[in-house]
Structure 1
Amino acid sequence: MCYVCTVKVTISGIRGIVGKDYTLQDTISFCRGFVGIMNSKTCVIGRDTRPTSNMISNIVSSVLASYNIDTLDLGVMPTPVIFREARRYGAGIVITSSHNTIEWNGLKFIINGRSVNKAEINRIKSGTNNILNKNSYGNTKYYTSSYVDDILDIVKVDGTPSILIDAGGGAATDIASKILKKIGCQTDIIHNTHIRTDPTAGGLEDLVTKSTKYDAGVAFDTDGDRLVLVMNGAVQPPDVTLGLGVAAAIKQGYRKFVISMDSSVLIERYITDRGGRVWRAPVGEANVIDAMTHNGAFVGGEGSSGGFIFSKFNYCRDGLFTSALIASMIHDGFAHDTLNDITGSTIIREKIIGSADIIQNIIDKISQISTQVDTTDGIRTIINDDTWILIRPSNTEDIIRVSAEAPTLDKCRNVINQVKSIIYDGQRT
C-alpha cells in the first residue's frame, strides 16, 4: 500500500503537517519508492532545524540501511550543501519542508545532483512496496562536506564587504557566516536560535534596520535554499536576487538562460540587451532545471523564490552560493549598478481560492484581453512589452496563483483586479 492519501506530493518532494498530513509511515513508504529509482548504493542525507527533522532522519537512514544502502549523514545542513554532495554520490534525501511553517516537514529527493522530475516522483509513488534484501544491510556514516572550500574555488571577493546575516535559526546558521568570512567578508549574525521558516513572509524589520550599517543584509529560510536580500535600506524583491545572479553570470560570459514563467520581464530584457537568449519554463525548480538541460543553458532560476541556479556548481537554487556571488559584486559597485537595471516595475503575486476546473473559462475570457496567450504553465498572457499575467492552479490545494507585472503599482493592481473578477465570474458560472 502507498500511504499518499493526504501527504502533498509534487516535484518539490513530499510534505505535510507531521502527524496529520505527513506520517512516519509516509517516510518509510516513500524512501522505499526512492530506493527503486536509485542507481547508487550510497545516499547522502541531511536535515533542517525543525523539531521533527532528527526523528525523520533516523527513520530515513534505517530504511536505506534495510535495503543495503550506505548512508552519508551530513546532520543539520542546508539543502544546497546536500545537493552538492549528492551530486558526487548519485543520490540524496533532504529532510525539510523548506519555507512551510514549523509544524510541517517532508522529504526532498535528489538523483544525480538534481531534484527528481515528474516521471521520477510518479515512479517513487508507485514503488513503495520494493522487496527487502534481508541478507545484508547498509551502514550510516557521519560525513563532512567540502562545500565551503568548493565555493572558494569559484567566488572571488575584492575588498572586505560587510554583510549582516539573519539566519532565522535555520540550517544556514553556521555555514553562511563561515562561507562569507572565508571569501573575505566582514560578517555579523542575528536571530541564530529562534526558527523563522519563511523570510519572505515578513519579520525582517530588525535586519532592515541594522543592515543600514552594512553593505548588505541577507536572510535565509529554514533549509537555506531561499535567500532574501536587503540593500539600500529595504528588502529587495525576489526577482532582484535572481537578477543579480544573472548579471554576474553574464559578466562571466554566459549567454543562455532559463527563467520561470513568473520571473520579471526586466531580467529577460537585461539578458537580451546583452546578447543573451532566454527560455521560459514552468514554475518549479525541477522544471527550470529540465529546461536548462534541454536547451544547454548553465544558468537559470525562479523570480518568485529569488532562486538562482548555476548548474556548474549546483543543480538547485542555492541561497548560500548566491549570497557569496552578490558579495563579490559589491566592492566595484556592480551590484548597485545592476539594481538600477533590474528594478523599476511592480510584481504582485497572490493566491485566490478556486479550483483548476474553471481554467478553460478563464482562458476564454483572458483571450479577449490579449491574443498572446501561453498555456504551457497555467495561462500566461502578455498584454504589452511591460505587462503580463500568469494564472496557475495549485497542484495540491484548491488555490489559483495569480502573478502580474506592470510598470507601476496602480497598473499592476488594476491587472490583478481584472483577473480576480474573471476568476470569480468563472466560479459563479
Structure 2
Amino acid sequence: MKISISGIRGIFNEDLGIQEISRFSRIFGSYLKDNFAGTNCVIARDSRPSGELIAEVVTGSLLEQGIDVYDLGVAPTPILFREARKYTGGLMITASHNPLPWNGLKLLINGRGLFESDLERLLETKIHEHSQIGHNFKIDPHYMTDILNLFHPPNQSNVDFKVGIDFGGGAACNYTDRLLNSYHVKYLGINDRMGFSSRGPDPTSDPLVDLCNLVKINKLNFGFAFDIDGDRLVVVNSDGVQLNPDLTLLFCVANVINNNGFKKFTISLDTSLAIEKYVRDHGGKIYFSKVGESNVLRRMIETQSESGGEGSSGGFIMPSFTSCRDGLLASVIISSLTQDLIKECITISSDFRQIRTKYPINAKTDNKVLFEKILSALKSYSTDIIYTDGLKFIIDDKSWIIVRISNTEHVLRISFESTTEKVDSLFKTFYDKIVEVYEKI
C-alpha cells in the first residue's frame, strides 16, 4: 500500500483490503469534522471492477461518522474536483494510471487535493465514536454547464475538424463525447464501453496503436486518449503518431497565452524544457514544483500562477476552473488550436526528447542512503543539482536527469531529457549506473 498526497493506493484485496478502506474513510470523516465546519462529502469512482464495492464501503464509513454523502457514481476525477468546491470534502475512488488490480482513495478538502501538511494531520486523526448517521444522496454534476460558461461554444460547427477519442473504457465515457458535441467537434470513438478496453489504463505509457490507426485511416485532425479516471490526456497527431505527453501541456499553455493572456505558469520539475522555453519566449514567468498534482497546485497558489501542470502525465491544470489535472478541459482547449499554434508547439517540442522509466524497489529501502549514493555517483557529471524532489542533475542547458521516489508506486522513477540526438546516449550512460547503485545497497 502506498500513502502519499496522490492518495492511498494498493492492490485491492491484497495490500488494500476492505478493512483499510473503511479505516481510512472513517479517519477522513473524523478529519473533516475536526477541521472544518461542514459535515458533507461528494464522492465518485472510476470504472475499475472493484470501484462499486469500495464505494459502498466508503459511503457506509462516512455515514457512520455523521457525514452526508453526495454520490456522483462513475465520473472523471476533474468532474469530482469541480463539484467538490461546493462541499467540505471530496473522495475519488481511483488508482488513476496504476494497473487495473489497483484501486485507492484520493482525498479532497475545499475542492483541492491534500497538501503534505494536510496529509500529516489526517494521519494523526483519531476516529470518532459513532454519534449519528449521515444522509446519502445521488447527484448529477454541473461540470458540463460550468465549462460551457467558461469557454463558449462557437455558433457554427467546424465541418473540417474531426478527432478520434480513445476513452480507455474509463470514466470519460459518456462525458467527453457529450462535451465535444457541445462544441460541435465531430469525433470517432473507440474503447467507449465502460469497463472494457483493448489497452491499459495509462495512455502516457501504453502504445495507442488503435487510436493512431483510427486517426490516420480516417484523416482526423487529432486523437485524444484518456486514462481511466479522465485526468490525463495524450494526443495523437494528424499523421497518426502518438505525441509525448508534454505536448498536451504545451498545446494548452500556448492556447491560454495567446487567447487568455496568461503570464504565470507552474510546472513540475520533470516537465519538458520545451514548455519553459515557450513561456519565456512569450514574455511569461515560469515556476517549478515537486512532482505531484497537489505539489504543483500549492506552488501555483504561492506564485499566483494562472495555469501549468505536469508534462510527464499529460496533465494540464487551470486552478480557476479545476484544482487538478483536467483531461476534459485539455481536450476542449486543444480542439480550438489554430494550425499555426500547433506547428509552433511541435517545432519547439521537436528540439527535445524525454525518456521516462521506472525501476521497482523494496518498500523498506532506506531512501536517504540510496540518494546519498546516487548523488555521489552522478554529481561529477552535472553542472548543477536541484534537491527539491529527489535529485535533478542538470547536465547542460538542454539536458537533465531526475531520480525520485514515486508518489504512487513502490518504484524509483528515472527520467531523462536532452536533444533528440543526445537523449539515448544520456540514458545508456546513466540508467545502469543508477540501477547498480540501488542493487548494491
| TM-score of the alignment, normalized to the shorter chain, above 0.5 | yes
Q: What is the alpha-carbon distance in structure 2 between the residues aligned to residue 399 and residue 31 of structure 1?
A: 26
159-168 or 68-77, larger mean C-alpha shift: 159-168
Q: How many angstroms does 1:75 deviate by?
A: 0.6
Do the aligned residues in 2 keep the contact of 1:307 with 1:318 (CA within 8 Å)? yes
After superposition, residues 13-412 of structure 1 pair within 5 angstroms as: 13-38=7-32, 39=36, 40-127=38-125, 129-133=127-131, 136-156=132-152, 159-160=157-158, 161-193=161-193, 194-195=196-197, 196-212=200-216, 213-232=219-238, 233-251=240-258, 252-330=260-338, 333-353=340-360, 355=365, 356=367, 357-394=369-406, 399-409=411-421, 411-412=422-423
CA change 1:220–1:62 in 2 (3 A) is: same
Q: Is the 8 A contact 1:101 1:197 kept in 2?
A: yes
| Stretch of structure 1 that moved more, 315-324 or 292-301 | 292-301
After TM superposition, give the deviation of residue 340 of structure 1 in Å: 2.0
| 1:345–1:408 contact (8 Å) kept in structure 2 | yes
How far apart are the structure 2 equivalents of 1:168 and 1:27?
26
1:417 aligns with 2:425: no
Separation in structure 2 between the aligned mates of residue 277 and residue 239 of structure 1, nearest angstrom = 18
Alignment RMSD, CA only? 1.8
| Distance across 2 between alignment mates of 1:373 and 1:243 | 25
Q: Please state how far the C-alpha of 1:163 moved relative to its aligned partner.
A: 1.6
Per-residue CA deviation, residues 340-397 of structure 1 (Å, 9 max, x unaligned), is 2333311001113455222112212322112311111111121221111111133576
Distance 2:271 2:230 in 1: 21
CA–CA distance in structure 2, aligned partners of residues 139 and 185 of structure 1: 40
CA distance in 1, matches of 2:207, 2:432: 31
Corresponding residue of 1:4: none
367-376 or 150-159, which moves further after superposition? 150-159
Q: Which moved more, 1:291-300 or 1:114-123?
A: 114-123
Q: Does 1:11 align with 2:19?
A: no
Question: Structure 1 stretch 22-31 or stretch 154-163: which is displaced more?
Answer: 154-163
Alpha-carbon separation, structure 2, partners of 1:149 and 1:333: 30
Distance 1:301 1:396 in 2: 17
Name 1:3's counterpart in structure 2: none
The DSSP-based 3-state class of the residue aligned with 1:99 is coil
Offset from partner CA, 1:229-276 (integer Å, 9 cap, x none): 111321110000011111112111111111001000111010011111
Q: For 1:37, what is the secondary structure of its paired residue? A: helix
Cα distance change of structure 1 residues 130 and 119 upon mapping to structure 2, 3 Å threshold: farther
Distance 2:120 2:170 in 1: 30
* Letter paired with 1:375: Y
Three-state SS of the structure 2 residue aligned to 1:234 is coil
**Any conservation in 2 of the 1:37–1:120 contact (CA below 8 Å)?**
no
Preserved CA contact (<8 Å) 2:264 2:284: yes
Distance 2:172 2:84 in 1: 18
In structure 2, C-alpha distance between the alignment counterparts of 1:269 and 1:390, rounded to whole Å? 19
Q: Contact conserved, 1:8 with 1:396, CA < 8 A, in 2? A: yes
SS at match of 1:129: coil
AA in 2 matched with 1:209: N
SS in 1 for 2:86: helix
Q: CA deviation at 1:60?
A: 1.1
Distance 1:270 1:201 in 2: 25
1:334 alignment partner AA: L
AA at the equivalent of 1:141? F
* Number of residue equivalences: 419
Q: Match for 1:414: what amino acid?
A: S
What is the percentage of aligned positions where both structures have the same residue?
A: 37
Query: Is the 2:2–2:409 Cα contact (8 Å) retained in structure 1?
Result: no
One-letter identity of the residue aligned with 2:310? E
Shift of 1:418: 2.5
TM-score (norm 1): 0.93
SS across alignment from 1:368: helix
Determine the C-alpha separation between the residues in 2 that align with 1:396 and 1:100. 8
| Alignment CA distance shift 1:374-1:90 (3 Å) | same
Q: CA deviation at 1:96?
A: 0.9
Please identify, of 174-183 and 153-162, the stretch whose mean Cα deviation from structure 2 is larger: 153-162
